[in-house]
Each structure stands twice: as C-alpha cells, then as structure tokens.
Amino acid sequence: MRVLYLSLALLLPLPATSQDFTTSAGVKPILELIRPQWIAIRPYNGQDLLYMTTLLTYRCGIEQIRFSYNGGALQVWDGEPCYRDEASPMALKLETHLPYAVAPLESLQTVTINLLFDDGSIMEHSYTRKEVQIN
C-alpha cells in the first residue's frame, strides 16, 4: 500500500513557483489564455479608469506594456517594477504606482494593448468598451 501512495505522489504535478513566471516563456502561455481579461474599464467618480491589474501581475516577463485609446498612438505604461530579488516578485505594492490610468468619462471606446516581451516578441489585442466595462 505504501508503494501505491508513493507512486501516486510521484505522478502529481509539482506546484508552480513564482520563478516560473518571471520570463516571457513563463507568462506568454498564461497571457494568451486570459487575453480577454487583460484589462477592464470602470466608470468611477466622473471619469473612466483603465485597469491594467491582470497584466501587471505578469509584468516580470513583459519588457514593456504599451496601450492606446480609440486608435491613437501607443503610449508606454509606467508601471510598478518586477521585484526579482524578493520572495514575491510579481506582488503589487501599490506604493508609488496605481494599477489604472484615468481618462474622461465615456472617452474610452476602444483600447489596444501591445506587449513587448523580454524575448523580443510582441502580443497585441484590441478591446471595445462593451467587452471590458465593469460597474
């Protein structure tokens, strides 16, 4: 019976560690799967908030997050750094950087996200307000 338990234990997958998600090789498959949830738009207090929270939790493998509103020019997101020397490198401390951008109310009709990864590859997706608005 002990042999059976040991054999089963060896077949179970090992838990992922935070180190698995600090390079493009680790984050790209996840980001591909959750592409529809990369961003959210929330009307709040007379303005639109463009939340990047999901992307920021995988920022360690992303070299640069770029975004544009309504077909405009891409802008670089100045987000929180990856804390590579800490136990939780992807944790958001929210001490100096907010996880959202602010725009005038109802002004965000389309948003394009362009991700440049540390391996030089790019992943891009565009969203309509209706697809990503939360209340």
Q: Does some domain include residue 109?
A: yes
pLDDT for res 84:
87
Q: Does some domain include residue 126?
A: yes
Look up the domain containing 99 and give its range: 17-132
Q: Which amino acid is at 3?
A: V
For residue 16, pLDDT beyond 80: no
Q: Residue 30: in which H helix or E strand, if any?
A: helix 24-33
Q: Does some domain include residue 7?
A: no
Q: Does some domain include residue 67?
A: yes
pLDDT for res 4:
46
Q: Does some domain include residue 30?
A: yes
Q: How far apart are alpha carbons 39 and 100 in whole angstroms?
A: 9
Give this prediction's pTM: 0.81
Q: Domain total for the chain?
A: 1
Q: Does some domain include residue 2?
A: no
Q: Residue 2: in which H helix or E strand, if any?
A: helix 2-11
Q: Does some domain include residue 53?
A: yes
pLDDT for res 18:
43
Q: Does some domain include residue 3?
A: no
Q: How far apart are alpha carbons 109 and 43 in whole angstroms?
A: 12
Tens of pLDDT, residues 26-74 = 899 999 999 999 999 999 999 999 999 999 999 999 999 999 999 999 9
